[in-house]
Amino acid sequence: MSDPSTLKEWIVFSASALEGIVSEPRHEAELLLRAFYNKDALWLIRNEMTVLDDTQRLRQWITRRAANEPLEYISQRVSFYSQEFFIQQGALIPRPETELLIEKTLLHVNPDEHLCIVEVGIGSGIISIILAQHLPHAHFIGVDISTEALRIAQRNIECFGLKERIELRHGNLLSSVNEPIDVVVSNPPYIADTAVLESNLSYEPDTALFGGSQGDEIIKALLDEVLQRRVALLTCEMGYDQKAAIEAYLSDFKIQSLEFYKDYSGFDRGFIMKVTDEQTQ
Ligand SMILES: C[S@@+](CC[C@H](N)C(=O)[O-])C[C@H]1O[C@@H](n2cnc3c(N)ncnc32)[C@H](O)[C@@H]1O
């Protein structure tokens, strides 16, 4: 094939480069072209015969995508909760099911209260940013063990004008937070260390994915700290097969309530734990 020139030819060229790498090469090629020029789907239809420019950089994007690098890392943009965020290797690409964690959290907090909300494992910052938009009186502390993730969160927090409301701290779980906490929200790493993952996941940080030999060790360590500090509310994402283990773990403790929720595919995906003021067992 001669060098592609028009948009239509570039789509065909990109799709053939992605053949055998992604499940829908043509669709992925269109997404790549749209992301590269920051255009919508209509632009693709209207501009089929347009001769493209900046194609040297476009070739680099295609090469990276053909190595199965996620488009979000290449474009440095990710859409979540109908908003656009900055993303880069070093922080997890937000997943659609995490929107449910936000919805569940919002159902259990009072927007009029001046709460101290701690997010454990803030990553790119998406959860705290959306919650801060909905909870105007709450103060947030975003903790992460990864300094790279914290840099990415900081960029998003500044971009959304929330620097005064979301404080960032480097640390393990709640160790860097000494003040009283009203709510902990977390999407912790919960995949078992030995799990064999799809190749595109290799671009995401191990610290964001792997939660210990069973996968639920970080969740259990977080439960310990939340119970010890008697934080009134914990909302937490988890693996689809971790409900029984979490229930069994919590059966040794005195809690007020424990409710699990499912994701869009019907898999168990998270829980909401309420803790009374009384001493845990
Ligand atoms: C699954 S990612 C979630 C990122 C972001 N909150 C989201 O939902 O897209 C988990 C995050 O927890 C962080 N993390 C892992 N272990 C941690 C620990 N022990 N203490 C604090 N953060 C931790 C990782 O660096 C990563 O940013």
CA 218 to ligand 1: nearest atom? 19
Q: Are strands 166-170 and 139-144 parallel, antiparallel or unpaired?
A: parallel
What's the per-residue H, E or C state across 247-261?
HHHHCCCCCCEEEEE
Which residues neighbour 236 within 8 Å (Cβ) at sequence distance 6 or greater? 101, 184, 185, 186, 187, 188, 219, 222, 270, 271, 272, 273
Average pLDDT, integer, range 267-271: 98
Which residues neighbour 257 within 8 Å (Cβ) at sequence distance 6 or greater? 272, 273, 274
pTM: 0.95
CA 119 to ligand 1: nearest atom? 6
pLDDT, position 73: 98
**Residue 54 CA to ligand 1 centre (angstroms):** 36
Alpha carbon nearest to ligand 1 atom 19, residue: 172
pLDDT, position 252: 87
Alpha carbon nearest to ligand 1 atom 27, residue: 123
pLDDT, position 280: 43
Query: d(Cα 147, Cα 73) in Å, to the nearest integer?
Result: 18
**Residue 121 CA to ligand 1 centre (angstroms):** 3
Quick check: 249 pLDDT over 70?
A: yes
Average pLDDT, integer, range 136-153: 98
pLDDT, position 224: 97
- CB of 239 within 6 A of ligand 1: the answer is no
**Which letter, b or e, does each residue of 247-260 get, where b requires 16 or more Cβ atoms within 10 Å of its Cβ?**
eeebeeeebeebee
- CB of 188 within 6 A of ligand 1: the answer is yes
pLDDT, position 281: 47
Six-digit token string for 212: 């210990």
Query: d(Cα 126, Cα 110) in Å, to the nearest integer?
Result: 20
Residues in the chain: 281
CA 80 to ligand 1: nearest atom? 9
What 3-state class would DSSP assign to 103? Answer: helix
**Residue 155 CA to ligand 1 centre (angstroms):** 17
CB 18 within 8 A of CB 11: no
CATH of the domain spanning 92-274, picked from 3.10.20.600, 3.10.20.90, 3.40.50.150, 3.10.20.310: 3.40.50.150
Query: d(Cα 252, Cα 274) in Å, to the nearest integer?
Result: 15
Quick check: 113 pLDDT over 90?
A: yes
Provide the pLDDT confidence category of residue 33 given band limits of 50, 70 and 90: very high
**Residue 45 CA to ligand 1 centre (angstroms):** 40
Alpha carbon nearest to ligand 1 atom 11, residue: 121
Average pLDDT, integer, range 156-163: 98
Provide the pLDDT confidence category of residue 2 given band limits of 50, 70 and 90: low
**Residue 122 CA to ligand 1 centre (angstroms):** 6
**Residue 20 CA to ligand 1 centre (angstroms):** 32
- CB of 207 within 6 A of ligand 1: the answer is yes
Average pLDDT, integer, range 264-280: 88
CB 157 within 8 A of CB 163: yes
pLDDT, position 198: 87
Query: d(Cα 192, Cα 61) in Å, to the nearest integer?
Result: 32
CB 273 within 8 A of CB 258: yes
CB 275 within 8 A of CB 234: yes
Query: What digits encode the pLDDT tens for the residues 166-211?
Result: 999 999 999 999 999 999 999 999 999 999 998 889 999 999 999 9
Which residues neighbour 138 within 8 Å (Cβ) at sequence distance 6 or greater? 109, 113, 114, 115, 116, 117, 131, 132, 165
Alpha carbon nearest to ligand 1 atom 26, residue: 208
Residues of the chain with pLDDT > 70, as a percent, come to 98
CA 122 to ligand 1: nearest atom? 6
Alpha carbon nearest to ligand 1 atom 17, residue: 145
Sequence spans of domains, the chain: 7-68, 92-274
- Alpha helix (H) residue ranges in 146-262: 147-159, 206-209, 217-228, 243-250
- CB of 173 within 6 A of ligand 1: the answer is yes
